[in-house]
Copies of this chain bind each other. A is one copy, B any other.
Amino acid sequence: MGNETMKIPQATAKRLPLYYRFLNNLHSSGKQRVSSAELSEAVKVDSATIRRDFSYFGALGKKGYGYNVNYLLTFFRNTLDQDELTKVALIGVGNLGTAFLNYNFLKNNNTKIAVAFDVAEEKIGSAVGDIPIFHMNDLEEVIKREKIGVAILTVPSQFAQTITDRLVGADVKGILNFTPARLTVPSSIRVHHIDLAVELQSLVYFLKHYSESEQE
């Protein structure tokens, strides 16, 4: 344990951004120290799980004291590579896409939507904030030029696979897929699916079949 080069469990890795954001909140509100119990209350993750998660990175806390917010924050900033800006492309500027364009990922995450694509002529050439909207035809060219490695896919599902193939061709390594389609990609490409209908449906299923809620 505590070997920084070792791979962290996936479940832990998924919680890191969450921890990071709440530590930022604490920092902003002037808090100097925090215990795993307090953090647990805030992020709704068992305190033992939090301590275990942190322990993969070594001994970050102090017994009887807790964690120094600043130290932890600095540590995670480095670990999460928050200093290096990650450029993201948004594919499909519909309602969902627009929601992303207006979302300030930069603030906490140092992740920036650098370019967007659509097919609607009236959108092309315009910009949302400082994010220019290109025509889908220019996908490969722009993505390669801007050296973009991550894409958010918010297009109608019937186009999802075709566009995915083009993204893979343009050397994109990660896709956040909001389409109901399940994408086929080479194994070197990572896809995270967020399926809104499935999320809603499974919530409904849990409500009907698991009356006493155990928090997800």
Contact = CB atoms under 8 A, between A and B. Distances in A.
Q: Sort chain A's interface into a size bin.
A: 35 or more
A198 B8 contact: no
Report how many copies the assembly holds. 2
Given A13-B202, A44-B182, A188-B213, A197 B108 contact: yes
A80 to B, nearest CB: 6
B202 A17 contact: yes
Contacts of A94: 99
Given A176-B200, A201-B111, A95 B86 contact: no
B99 A204 contact: no
B81 A208 contact: yes
Contacts of A108: 197
A195 interface: yes
Given A18-B198, A213-B189, A204 B174 contact: yes
A195 B18 contact: yes
A119 interface: no
A192 interface: yes
Interface string A181-207: 011100111111111111111111111
6 contacts: A7-B210, A13-B202, A80-B201, A105-B197, A109-B201, A191-B216
A174 B173 CA distance: 35
A176 B150 contact: no
Interface of A: 7-8, 10, 13-14, 16-18, 20-22, 42-44, 80-81, 86, 88, 94-96, 98-100, 102-103, 105, 108-109, 111, 149-150, 152, 173-174, 176, 180, 182-184, 187-213, 215-216
B200 A187 contact: no
Complex A-B, nearest 9 residue pairs according to Cβ-Cβ distance, in ascending order:
A17-B201, A95-B99, A96-B99, A190-B213, A17-B198, A95-B98, A174-B207, A44-B182, A14-B202
Contacts of A80: 201, 205
A197 B21 contact: yes
